[in-house]
Structure 1
Amino acid sequence: MSAEPNTPPAAGEAPITAAGMMLGLRKVSVLMPGIVVFAVAFGAAAAAKGLSLFETLLMSGFVYAGVAQLVSLELWRPEWTWGAIAGIAVVTATVNARMVLQGASLQPWFAKYSKTLNAFHLFFFTDANWLIGTRYRAEGGRDLGVLVGAGLALWLVWVIATGGGYMLGALVSDPRRYGIDLVMPIFFAAMIVPLWRGKRGMVPWVVAGLVALVTARLVDGYAFIIVGSLAGAITGAFRDDAA
């Protein structure tokens, strides 16, 4: 019998269990409605930009970076120059740079598994996985199946809904019209709150938020994401060293 999702796998047992994968699927299921709507919106936007269905599905399947995909469409050009390619690369790299910090925060957990296994599950690593994994590990969980199950489910839904959006066109091109764009922010807030560790942990959060807001005011684009994240991480590191 496989280990329970919230207990470390015993010696000789598989590091990923079916129970863990199902737990990850259940934890991420609350996000599915929002993911479907945003994937439909991306598919519709890709069709409007002139991408083929194959190209659209290929981007969702292999790039698999929802926010970065939507941002790249905003910068899409009918004719490409090397400067335009470099510009879109810098913007999407900035948007996705937060994943470096998120992955680093869970490195002590990931390091116990093989490089091949880590390479596989990190392909499906998203903000939702990180929040789910962070909370799950804080509660004593060790089964990497939680991340794999959540990631695979989200990826599959994202790709399928992208195709649906492409065929439906602009039917749901603006998720804000239905208020469904609030699903993911609410989910993130609900997952982060249990990680609260008292007033001492509030300082890095406040610093990250303020720096991100100021950066967004002063610098166009998405630099505020990485600047705010780094500010919070550095603040937290210095406070831990001073303790």
Structure 2
Amino acid sequence: MSRPQSAPIRHFDADTIRRGAIACLPLLPSTMIFGAVLGVLATQRGLSLGELLFMSLTVFAGSAQFVSVDLWRETIPSVTIIVATAVINLRYVLIGASLRPVFRGRPLWVKICGMHMVADENWAVTMTQENLANPGFLLGGGIFLGIVWATGNTIGYLLGGGIPDPNVYALDFAFTAVFAALTVGMWKGRVDLLPWLAAAIGSLIGHYTLPGTWSILAGAGAGVVVAALTWREDMDDTAPKSEIAPEIAADTYGAPEGTYSTEAGK
């Protein structure tokens, strides 16, 4: 008797990728503006359009790109830029940890592809979804935002010196406005109150006591610690079993009762 063949697992399906992209449509204006501001800054720092787009493709981290482009001067050592961007991107350690339900049971290549396309915005949109089990949703949002981001970079770069100081038009506030709106959808109820309050207090203390963007990590760390201390087992329901591919669900949770393998037609 031949062994039954299980259907291949589809880690990234077109429909889920499309839904992830559509969910990020409201972020198009702010992402485009924010990307254009970076394009203007890149022009002022003497970067070529090719260098800027290559950075957006390989780094894909808006705040880190802003810092690295702003520090792009002959008098500043490369190691300084590397350290500065690494510090800013430390928050992705916490972001990656929060995405564990999305990548649970997935192979390494899926995790690498998915995490490379993680931006703050599509991460926040993904975390508002009831089903966190499919990385295609996260990837779809990342691909969409990446295209919009690169388009904004190009527009801002071509505008060049036409906008000498983007801050005059409050274009630098686009990033903050996006997250102020996204936090509404991320609120899950009273269970979030203490972690959010701890994150806010930690960020404020860090803002007045720490240099650079360390306040971001301070706030995130405070929120994570409080969330861990107040966590209860009945809260861990971020990845509904019914929404996970059967092969992955079986590996993660064990096969559902009453299921068995059969040959075709039996």
In structure 2, the CA distance between the partners of 1:68 and 1:97, relative to structure 1 (3 Å rule), is: same
Q: Report the identity percentage.
A: 33
Whichever residue aligns with residue 64 of structure 1, its letter is F
CA distance in 2, matches of 1:141, 1:232: 21
Counterpart mapping for 1:46-61 below 5 A = 46-61=42-57
Is contact 1:208–1:228 with CA below 8 Å preserved after alignment? yes
The CA deviation at 1:122 is: 1.2
* Matched residue count: 229
The structure with the largest helix share of the pair is 1
Unaligned stretches of 5+ residues in structure 2:
1-5, 235-266
Is contact 1:31–1:184 with CA below 8 Å preserved after alignment? no
Deviations 1:148-207 (A, max 9, x none): 111111112212321222121033455554455554434433333233333342111111
SS of 1:170's equivalent in the other structure is: helix
Query: Is 1:99 matched with 2:92?
Result: yes
Deviations 1:100-152 (A, max 9, x none): 1011011132122221122112111111121111111xx13533221111111
Query: Is 1:123 matched with 2:116?
Result: yes
Is contact 2:45–2:70 with CA below 8 Å preserved after alignment? no
CA distance in 2, matches of 1:48, 1:115: 39
Unaligned stretches of 5+ residues in structure 1:
1-9
Is contact 1:17–1:143 with CA below 8 Å preserved after alignment? no
> Highest Rg: 1 or 2?
2
Q: 1:235 aligns with which of 206, 226, 247?
A: 226
In structure 2, the CA distance between the partners of 1:141 and 1:159, relative to structure 1 (3 Å rule), is: same
In structure 2, the CA distance between the partners of 1:192 and 1:172, relative to structure 1 (3 Å rule), is: same
Alignment correspondent of 1:32 = 28
The CA deviation at 1:17 is: 2.1
Query: Is 1:71 matched with 2:67?
Result: yes
CA distance in 1, matches of 2:93, 2:132: 22
Alignment correspondent of 2:197 = 206
SS of 2:161's equivalent in the other structure is: coil
Counterpart mapping for 1:8-19 below 5 A = 12=8, 14-19=10-15
Query: Is 1:90 matched with 2:83?
Result: yes
Is contact 1:24–1:147 with CA below 8 Å preserved after alignment? yes
TM-score, normalised via structure 1 length: 0.84
Query: Is 1:161 matched with 2:157?
Result: no
Alignment correspondent of 1:3 = none
The CA deviation at 1:51 is: 1.4
The CA deviation at 1:223 is: 0.7
In structure 2, the CA distance between the partners of 1:179 and 1:23, relative to structure 1 (3 Å rule), is: farther
Is contact 1:41–1:174 with CA below 8 Å preserved after alignment? no
What is the root-mean-square deviation in Å for CA atoms of aligned residues? 2.4
More displaced 10-residue stretch of structure 1: 139-148 or 99-108: 139-148
Is contact 1:60–1:159 with CA below 8 Å preserved after alignment? yes
The CA deviation at 1:230 is: 0.7
CA distance in 2, matches of 1:155, 1:28: 11
TM-score, normalised via structure 2 length: 0.77
Where in structure 1 do 4 or more consecutive aligned residues deviate above 6 Å? none
CA distance in 1, matches of 2:7, 2:179: 34
Is contact 1:45–1:170 with CA below 8 Å preserved after alignment? no
Is contact 2:124–2:186 with CA below 8 Å preserved after alignment? no
The answer to which structure, 1 or 2, has the higher relative contact order (CA under 8 A, 6+ apart) is 1
Is contact 2:30–2:178 with CA below 8 Å preserved after alignment? no
Whichever residue aligns with residue 98 of structure 1, its letter is R
Is contact 2:34–2:174 with CA below 8 Å preserved after alignment? no
Q: 1:191 aligns with which of 167, 182, 189?
A: 182
